[in-house]
């Protein structure tokens, strides 16, 4: 019974963690470019060994690799020159409060210091990982390869000045994961090389790739799994007590 009970308890712990993941996903369903987190899964068994005895407890092993859903979200047309999205796979290179990271969020703006940022206040970086600074402009154009052109204020109509190239990477050959700060980076903690392979679509933003229906269905399945494991623990307890009563000496 020991193995049965501890395996069920460990499964309940995984279900609890999955509940937090699903709540996080549903809270970010309206955040542009958000990448859906995937719950923990049982990937095998581990055993606690007592000296010179048989294996006593079987525990589910968690896959704790911070994996996320990389499938692109739906592109939504906004009509704003400051909105950009990536067609297909790939990431923008940005700099937040911590180390540089990757993102799909492209709702752009210019902060008070003239730097290009997205809705998360992350600085957009060029292909050399330098923050992109844009002066006062009348209009802006972002090409599909990431080149940024502006018409400065007070310039002649039709004037177009190159500013920088948005840093992008396909992430090919790299294993990406989310770190504790919620940012996506290579497993080593750095960034893949800027290969400029992805294609930019201006006047569009990418929506979150969270499927709210799927999250709700998975939540119901987690609840059913929770109930099954509680019943399993209760049944194991009753069986253990029944076995103990059979071994008890008559009074």
Residue 46 sits in the same domain as residue 91: no
pLDDT at 17: 75
pLDDT of 29 > 90? The answer is: yes
Model confidence at 31, pLDDT cuts 50, 70, 90, reads: very high
Task: Say if 123 falls within a structural domain.
Answer: yes
Residue 120 sits in the same domain as residue 51: no
- Write down the pTM of the prediction: 0.77
Residue 217 sits in the same domain as residue 178: no
CA distance 42 to 21: 15
Residue 228 sits in the same domain as residue 165: no
Residue 94 sits in the same domain as residue 22: no
What total number of domains does the chain contain?
2
Tell me if residue 102 falls in helix, strand or coil: strand
Residue 200 sits in the same domain as residue 216: no
pLDDT of 198 > 80? The answer is: yes
Residue 43 sits in the same domain as residue 156: no
Q: Are 155 and 138 in contact (CB under 8 A)?
A: yes
Q: How far is CA 43 from CA 14, 47, 59, 63, in A?
A: 11, 14, 10, 6
Question: How many beta carbons lie within 10 A of that of residue 45, not counting itself?
Answer: 14
Residue 100 sits in the same domain as residue 38: no
Q: How far is CA 121 from CA 64, 79, 134, 137, in A?
A: 28, 21, 15, 20
Residue 51 sits in the same domain as residue 130: no
Please write the tens of the pLDDT for every residue from 64-90. Answer: 556 888 899 999 999 999 999 999 999
Residue 104 sits in the same domain as residue 196: yes
- Structural domain span for residue 111: 75-206
Residue 224 sits in the same domain as residue 201: no
pLDDT of 206 > 70? The answer is: yes
Q: How far is CA 188 from CA 56, 90, 212, in A?
A: 37, 18, 32
Task: Say if 251 falls within a structural domain.
Answer: no
Q: Are 129 and 191 in contact (CB under 8 A)?
A: yes
Calculate mean pLDDT across residues 116-132. 96
Q: Are 29 and 212 in contact (CB under 8 A)?
A: yes
Please write the tens of the pLDDT for every residue from 147-186. Answer: 999 999 888 888 999 999 999 999 888 899 999 888 999 9
CA distance 103 to 114: 21
CA distance 236 to 174: 45
Instruction: Report residue 203 CA to chain centroid gap.
Output: 24
pLDDT at 234: 80
Q: Are 43 and 181 in contact (CB under 8 A)?
A: no
pLDDT at 233: 74
pLDDT of 101 > 70? The answer is: yes
Task: Say if 227 falls within a structural domain.
Answer: yes
Angle, in degrees to the nearest 10, between helices 2-27 and 212-247: 160
pLDDT of 131 > 60? The answer is: yes
Task: Say if 238 falls within a structural domain.
Answer: yes
Residue 45 sits in the same domain as residue 156: no
Phi/psi at 115 (nearest 5 deg)? -90, 150
Question: How many beta carbons lie within 10 A of that of residue 216, not counting itself?
Answer: 12
pLDDT at 34: 94
Tell me if residue 128 falls in helix, strand or coil: coil
């Amino acid at each position: 019974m020991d193995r049965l009970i501890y395996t069920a308890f460990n499964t309940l712990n995984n279900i609890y963690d999955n509940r937090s993941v699903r709540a996080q996903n549903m809270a970010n369903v309206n955040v542009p470019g958000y990448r859906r987190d995937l719950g923990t899964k049982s990937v095998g068994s581990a055993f606690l060994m007592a000296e010179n005895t048989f294996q006593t407890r079987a525990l589910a092993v968690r896959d704790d690799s911070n994996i996320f859903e990389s499938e692109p979200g739906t592109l939504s047309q906004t009509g704003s020159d400051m909105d950009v999205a990536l067609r297909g796979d790939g990431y923008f290179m940005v700099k937040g409060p911590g180390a540089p990271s990757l993102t799909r969020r492209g709702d752009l703006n210019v902060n008070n210091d003239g730097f290009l940022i997205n809705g998360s206040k992350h600085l957009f970086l060029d292909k050399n990982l330098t923050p992109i600074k844009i002066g006062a402009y009348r209009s802006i154009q972002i090409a599909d390869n990431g080149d940024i052109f502006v018409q400065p204020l007070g310039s002649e109509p039709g004037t177009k000045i190159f500013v920088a190239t948005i840093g992008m990477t396909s992430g090919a050959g790299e294993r990406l994961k989310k770190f504790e700060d919620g940012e996506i980076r290579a497993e080593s903690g750095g960034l893949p090389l800027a290969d400029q392979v992805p294609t930019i679509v201006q006047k569009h933003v990418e929506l979150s790739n969270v499927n709210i229906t799927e999250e709700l269905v998975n939540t119901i399945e987690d609840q059913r799994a929770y109930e099954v494991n509680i019943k399993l623990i209760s049944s194991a307890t009753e069986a253990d007590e029944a076995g103990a009563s059979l071994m008890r000496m008559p009074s």
